[in-house]
Amino acid sequence: MKQDVESVKRQPAASGRVSYGDPVILNDTTKRRVVFVPFYIPHSDRTELAGKITTYLKRPPPLEWSILEEKSLSLSGDATRKLLAALRTHLAVAKEQEDGSYLLIRVAEGTALIGEYDPAQVASALTKVLSQPDVVEHLRDTELSSELVGALRGAIKLNEMKSAVAQLRALLESGENGEEVYQRWCESHSWAFGNAYVVRDEVRNISAGDRLDILLPSVIAGYRDLVELKRPDMPVLKYDESHRNYYFAVEVSKAIGQCHRYLDILHEVAAKGLLDHPEIVAYHPRAIIVIGQSSDWDEEKLHALHGLNRRLSGITVMTYNHLLAQGERLIEMLAPKPEDTEQDMVCDEEDVPF
């Protein structure tokens, strides 16, 4: 039977800076015991709950319990809240008998309670359900406030961008070099090329024998620029020992020549609108070449690429790592800033009550 009343003791630690509560035994076997100790860290405006999980080994008598320091884990206030939220969420899912996707909302007296969660995050989760045809049918006559619509749109876009950047990072770290893989990613996430581009054109054929990788309309002018994608395992720069300078590798030089040809054709056939697609106008277009990786480059090599790019006309060469960093920077600019920047206090060993 669940107890309605529970006694909780809170007392000062040896350092005098924090307090701690009664240890909670999480697991106890014949060989090992796992204990959680809650800590109360005072701040000017609140008291933060942190904690420490420690593993002990059982020794045969007359030895006492001995602590395994390498098995100790300190949890900040933020980490403790995340652990609590995760346990609540997955305990609720564990009550179900089938695998699948679940949306969990706590409800009391007919009202959804979202507690401390960001409304935008909740709205983002809800859209995955609201987009289903049978749900949309019931919501057709329902009016949504402009604030909720804005939160939905913002959260959806930001979460999509975060997922996309994580996917690109995973592809690069896994050693995936298939050009078609990155072609699909760039087509789906053209915003990564900068906030000057938000969408891409479905049209890719500019002449009978010329098919572009990606055609991007600029936000301000609406004119089209092009993107040429190469494999991420291709070299970008070579070093000339005799002249002590970097120069473009053969693969990049070929791509530059290819883009010059595309730019000439695109300007010629689409200066006043592409045939059968008058809405696509390319007036003195620019080109972006994405090739190779630069995660292990030093400052000198990065500086060299910048200098070589500055001397190109209408063409920019970038690596897939630059594209990744550009996407991360854009997310950083769009993400809401945390209100509380106070650093978490760390519990010293003297704060451990035993």
Q: What separation, in Å, do the N-terminal and C-terminal C-alpha atoms of the chain show?
A: 31
d(CA 122, CA 119): 5
Give residue 188's pLDDT band: very low, low, confident or very high (50, 70, 90). confident
d(CA 37, CA 299): 46
- Give the pLDDT score at 341: 41
Buried b (16+ CB within 10 A) or exposed e, 271-308: eeebeeeeebbbeebbbbbbbbbbeebeeeeeebbeeb
The label of the residue with tokens 């003791």 reads 9
Candidates 264, 273, 277; CA nearest to 315 is: 264
Residue 191 has pLDDT above 90, yes or no: no
pLDDT tens digits, 74-94: 777 777 777 887 777 777 777
90-104, 160-174, 184-198, 321-335: least confident range: 90-104
Give residue 206's pLDDT band: very low, low, confident or very high (50, 70, 90). confident
- Give the pLDDT score at 347: 52
Residues 6+ positions from 350 with CB-CB distance below 8 Å: 13, 14, 15
- Give the pLDDT score at 121: 58
Where along the chain do its domains lie? 11-87, 103-162, 177-334
Residue 167 has pLDDT above 90, yes or no: yes
29-43, 145-159, 177-191: least confident range: 145-159
d(CA 86, CA 89): 5
Residue 352 has pLDDT above 50, yes or no: no
Alpha helices in the chain (DSSP H): 77-94, 119-130, 133-139, 146-174, 179-188, 250-270, 299-310, 320-334
> pTM of the full predicted structure?
0.54
38-42, 63-67, 165-169, 210-214: least confident range: 63-67
CA distances from 67 to 34, 55, 210 (A): 10, 7, 69
**DSSP-derived 3-state class of residue 325:** helix
pLDDT tens digits, 33-58: 888 888 888 888 888 888 888 887 77
103-107, 136-140, 278-282: least confident range: 136-140
pLDDT tens digits, 102-117: 656 655 544 454 555 5
- Give the pLDDT score at 227: 94
- Give the pLDDT score at 254: 97
Give residue 148's pLDDT band: very low, low, confident or very high (50, 70, 90). very low
Mean confidence (pLDDT) of the chain: 78
**Rounded to 5°, angle at Cα 152 from 149 and 154:** 105
Give residue 314's pLDDT band: very low, low, confident or very high (50, 70, 90). very high
| β-pair type (73-75, 47-57) | antiparallel
Answer yes or no: are the C-beta atoms of 56 and 92 closer than 8 Å: no
